[in-house]
């Protein structure tokens, strides 16, 4: 079975860019956010969300993601409630995705809240992507057309870099794309050597 590399980092750190580099190097990548969007379209999960948060976050039968985000990113208890619905479903989605790639040496599981969700326990190796806070804030404002305040409130809900790094095997500083790409190549070389030794 393929070993799982957990790839994480705070909002705006550039995890997806780094994940794309791994993909270019032939490593299959699972993006937990995309998995969450997929499972959130299933009738069963939508019903659970409706029961937990009420009809007010729906426009007819369609989930209003912005309304839901407004609730969960301002209240840790509400966020935990949503995570308890979504995370088990994403775990199942990932496990079925893994079956397609079981003959690979490694796969990437990319998740912003790898540690917060407890999913890091299922990973063989963990990589944290970092970038200076101001760079991250600017990236997210530009990407999500959002405000500085909203970005900071989302950052507050996540672990800080020091905490992530203390539990990681590798750290990629994504301030410079060329250097970040070189780090990916270096990490894969190290993992290959370790694998050959085991």
**Between residues 60 and 12, the one the model is more confident about:** 12
Q: Is 129:8 a contact under the CB 8 Å cutoff?
A: yes
* Residue 135 domain flag: yes
* Residue 169 domain flag: yes
Please count the structural domains in the chain.
1
165 vs 167: CA distance, rounded Å: 5
Helices and strands, counts by H and E, the chain: 9, 7
Q: By residue range, what is the domain housing residue 12?
A: 3-193
* Residue 198 domain flag: no
* Residue 124 domain flag: yes
pLDDT tens per residue across span 82-137:
999 999 999 999 999 999 999 999 999 999 999 988 999 999 999 999 999 999 99
pLDDT tens per residue across span 21-75:
999 999 999 999 999 999 998 999 999 999 999 999 999 888 998 899 889 988 8
Q: Which residues of 112-122 are buried (b: 16+ CB within 10 A; e: fewer)?
A: bbbbbbebbee
Does pTM top 0.85 for this prediction?
yes
CATH classification at residue 118: 3.40.50.300
Q: Which residues sit in the known binding site for ATP?
A: 12-17
Report CA-CA distances (Å) from 149 to 133, 137, 157: 13, 10, 13
* Residue 93 domain flag: yes
123 vs 22: CA distance, rounded Å: 16
* Residue 149 domain flag: yes
93 vs 137: CA distance, rounded Å: 30
Q: Is 4:107 a contact under the CB 8 Å cutoff?
A: yes
pLDDT higher than 90, residue 157: no
What interhelical angle do 76-98 and 43-53 show, nearest 10? 170
Q: Is 17:180 a contact under the CB 8 Å cutoff?
A: yes
Q: Which residues sit in the known binding site?
A: 12-17
* Residue 37 domain flag: yes
């Amino acid at each position: 079975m393929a070993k799982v590399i957990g790839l994480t980092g705070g909002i705006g750190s550039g995890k997806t860019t780094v994940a794309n580099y791994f993909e270019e190097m032939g490593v299959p990548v699972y993006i937990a956010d995309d998995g969450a969007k997929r499972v959130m379209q299933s009738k069963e999960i939508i019903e659970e969300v409706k029961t937990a948060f009420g009809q007010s976050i729906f426009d007819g039968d369609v989930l209003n993601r912005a309304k839901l985000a407004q609730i969960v990113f301002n209240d840790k208890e509400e966020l935990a409630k949503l995570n308890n619905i979504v995370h088990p479903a994403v775990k199942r989605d990932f496990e079925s995705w893994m079956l397609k790639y079981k003959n690979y040496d490694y796969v990437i599981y990319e998740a912003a809240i790898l540690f917060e969700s407890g999913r890091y326990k299922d990973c063989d190796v963990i990589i944290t992507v970092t970038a200076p806070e101001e760079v991250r804030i600017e990236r997210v404002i530009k990407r999500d057309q959002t405000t500085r305040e909203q970005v900071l409130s989302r950052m507050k809900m996540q672990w800080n870099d020091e905490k992530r790094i203390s539990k990681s095997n590798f750290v990629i500083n994504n301030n410079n794309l060329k250097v970040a790409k070189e780090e990916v190549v270096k990490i894969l070389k190290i993992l290959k050597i370790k694998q050959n030794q085991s």
